[in-house]
Amino acid sequence: MMTTRILQICIPVLTIVVLALGPVPARAEESQTIPLQEIQTFSQVFALIKSDYVDPSSDQKLMQGAIAGMVHALDPHSAYLTPKEWKQMQVFTDGRFGGVGIEITPDHGLLRVVTPIDGTPAARAGIHAGDLIIKINGKAVEGLGLQKAVDEMRGKPGSQVSLTLLRPHSSVPLQVTLTRAIIKVQSVRYQMIAPDYGYLRISQFQDNTGNAVQAAVKELEKDADGKLKGLILDLRNNPGGVLQAGVETADTFLNQGLIVYTKGRTGSSDMRFRAHGPDLLHGAPVIVLINGGTASAAEIVTGALKDDGRALVLGSRSFGKGSVQSVIRLDNGGALKLTTALYYTPAGCSIQGQGIVPNVAIVPSNPEERQIDAALLKESELEGMLEAPDQCQKVQPQFEIAEPTPPATNQQKQTPSEGPDLATDFVLRKALEILQGNAVEVMQDGKSVKKVVPLPIYPSRDKNADARVKAA
């Protein structure tokens, strides 16, 4: 049976989407000899388990466990998928699945919430990015593994599942009961947020997201009678997804230039993705919103628009998931998900373990809130995280804006809204003020001063658009 290689960029989470790229070329010249001494040790341990372990174990169980352990020793995103797990993984290629709607990742034997997905039971229940799942239906998750934990959370739509959570800097467990549902993710939402200013939210990148983004931009232009003065692109708590969808999204706002490139050990791992244009906004300014839940393909889009001088990035440092996983079909019907490359922004910056640093950082004014913000999980804190050589480690925000502590009632509730809310969303409000050219309070030498934050001026394809950019 011919193995098939599949390329994707994603966090190992509830929603995984894959793209077939064709057969794997034979690379006999790169094959490595297996050390005989290690094989002898393996055989000895195998034989001892078969003969002396208190309960009989099947050969298949032991070999499957050995393979899984070997891959687990690599990095958090490489994994061996049994035939059953591979079939389950394929269920999600159309963005429709049963469950509660959270993106999770392993964290030192437990499970950490990367983000709840917009409009799902988890989002409506107020589950937060950074929450640590310690029990599912009363069973401890420690050592359970990602796939088994996902299986526990899935079930018949309408049935219930109980999650026991720990929040950063809290020792009191929180129990949440969720009603499972068929999750049909609407990856793109948009609306006019102010006269002549658009808002576009991408919750994750699916196969059709690129086309949906282009259609949304055209609709926003139509709503503004062709005079759209600016756009807020909200990628907060976007865990990533399909690489090509991220590339198509970045291309929507670019005329030309490099979007992202990957580097690995083999020639097939080295790829470059370029924009072909045209910029559908004709140079109108863009502000991208990010936070610690912005990961993978969402970081690709952010890095491209930032490095190409197309957008101002506002928020907090992103997750830092900058590795490429190739999914290789195996003869037994399973698959090997293997990290084969790292991706880099147009400026040559690796995102792996570092994330994207915003141009304008939103910093909680309350010291306690700053501690909680710093405690949110990042790629760099994952066990076995790959470190990437990089020249961009010392990049710092150009400006900082202090976010006031919300009233205690709002702080406790924190129920996500189904759409943008300028009254309660401080980050969104500041983005609109900057986009409109208004002065905002920024931190300078430890003091708060009013300042107009300059927006990137991007070459447009019509003179009227150039005038609008300069006026903004």
Please give the sequence-ordered ranges of beta strands (E in DSSP) within 332-465, or none if there are none.
335-344, 360-364, 399-403, 440-444, 447-451
* Beta-strand relationship, 286-290 and 311-315: parallel
User: Which of 78, 187, 203, 296 does the annotation list as catalytic?
Assistant: 296
Q: Taking phi first (over 0 means left), then psi (-120 to 50 degrees means alpha), and beta for anything else, what does residue 108 get?
A: left
Task: Find, among 428, 429, 426, 432, the residue nearest to 405 by Cα.
Answer: 426
DSSP 236: T
CA dist 12 to 66, 115, 337, 415, Å?
Answer: 20, 13, 10, 26
| Best CA proximity match to 173, nearest among 112, 139, 131 | 131
- Rounded to whole angstroms, the Cα distance separating 417 from 428 reads 13
Q: Choose the catalytic residue: 229, 321, 337, 430.
A: 321
Q: Which of 75, 234, 279, 307 is catalytic?
A: 307
What tokens appear for 124 in the block?
Answer: 């409506």
Q: 145, exposed or middle or buried, with CB in 10 Å at 0-12, 13-18, 19+? A: middle
Which pair of tokens denotes residue 450? 């009013």
Q: How far out from the chain centre does Cα 291 lie?
A: 10
Report which secondary-structure segment, H or E, holds 60: helix 59-72
Catalytic residue list contains 417: no
Rounded to whole angstroms, the Cα distance separating 355 from 341 reads 16
Residue the block writes with tokens 């005038």: 467
> How many other CB atoms are found less than 10 A from the CB of residue 110?
18
Distance CA 378, CA 77 (A): 14
Cα separation, 11 vs 8, whole angstroms: 10
Q: Identify whether 296 is a catalytic site residue.
A: yes
Which secondary structure element, helix H or strand E, spans residue 467, and what is its range? helix 463-471
Q: Is 203 a catalytic residue?
A: no
Would you say 322 and 388 are in contact if contact means Cβ atoms under 8 Å apart? yes
Which residues are part of the catalytic machinery?
Answer: 296, 307, 321
